[in-house]
Amino acid sequence: MPNAFSPNGDGLNDIFRIPPDVAVILQEFAVYDRSGTKIFSTNNPEIGWDGTYKGSPKPLGTYIYILRGIVENKPVQLKETFYLVR
């Protein structure tokens, strides 16, 4: 997973998502802000977070993602931080 993304409309790193070369059976991919509010969630590995919540851009800073799924027939749960930069 990347450790930063920049949703600024330049076509590069505009969406925070699971890299397409990672074969995962996704149960949940969720993004939380620093206060613990879940601001994005999906079970589709082709969909990622665009840096907004309820239609408004979130500020730059540190966010947390949780990924639960199955990779190579093994359950995986990751919880990591990443950065939103503009």
- What would the pLDDT profile of 23-42 be if each residue is shown by its tens digit? 999 999 999 999 999 999 99
User: CA–CA separation, 8 vs 49, rounded Å?
Assistant: 13
**Whole-prediction pTM:** 0.93
User: CA–CA separation, 84 vs 65, rounded Å?
Assistant: 12
CATH architecture designation of domain 4-84: Sandwich (2.60)
Q: Where are the beta strands (DSSP E) in the chain?
A: 4-5, 25-32, 38-42, 52-53, 56-57, 61-71, 74-84
**86 pLDDT more than 90:** no
